[in-house]
Amino acid sequence: MIKVENLLYSIGSNTIIKNLSLEFGHGDTLVTGPNGCGKTTLLMIICGLINPTRGSVTVDKAFQSGTQTFSLSTEAITPPQNFTASQLLSLFNRYNHVDAERQCELIDKTEMCQFLNFNIGELSTGSKKKLSLITAISKRSKILLLDEPFNGLDNESLLVFESTLSDDTRGKIIVDHNNKLKINNTFHLG
C-alpha cells in the first residue's frame, strides 16, 4: 500500500496539487483528471524524484526492496538527446536490476532493434515511448508507475504493451485517459 497524506505541491505561487490524501492498495489504480491537474507530478512525488511542498508519501514495507521499489515511465524525464538508444539501455541496465530476457523480448516484439543505434533526439515520439516502457517494464521492481503509457504507439506495439501489462502481476499506478487495461480502481485528480 502507498499512502499519500495532506500532499501539497507548488511552484512559486502556482499550486499544482492541494491537500491530497489517498491510498493506493494492492493491484492496479487508474489516475485520471484534466491536463495540468498534477497527475504526472503525483507519480514523480510517489517515486521520490521530486519532493512535495508539504505532506508525505509512505510505502508499505511489503513493497519496499531498496532502490527497486518503483519503475517509472514518463515523458517528463528527458534522457540525453545525444545518447543512442543502445547507450541509454546500457546505462539503465548498469544501475538497475533488470530482467534482460524480458527487455530483449520487448525490443524484438516492438521492432526497436532497428533504432538502437539512433540518437534519442532522432527517435519519433512513439519510439521514445517504447524505450521508456521497455526500461520501466524490464526493471525488477515492485510497482510500475506509468504516465500515459499508450500515447504515440503504433498499433502493433500498443497490442504488445497492453498484453504485457495485463499479464504483469506487479502493482500499477497508471495515468491514462482511455483506460485501455480496463482497470476498475480509479482515482480522479483535479
pLDDT tens track for 36-65: 999 999 999 999 999 999 999 999 876 665
pLDDT tens, residue by residue, 80-138: 999 999 999 999 999 999 999 999 999 999 999 999 999 999 999 999 999 999 999 99
User: What are the C-alpha distances in Å from 151 to residues 95, 121, 143, 176?
Assistant: 27, 18, 20, 9
Domain holding 70: CATH number?
3.40.50.300
Range of the domain at 6: 2-188
The closest alpha carbon to 132, from 13, 43, 21, belongs to: 43
pTM metric for this prediction: 0.94
For 10, the 3-state DSSP assignment is strand
Number of domains the chain is built from: 1
Percent of the chain with pLDDT over 70: 97
C-alpha cell at 48: 521520490
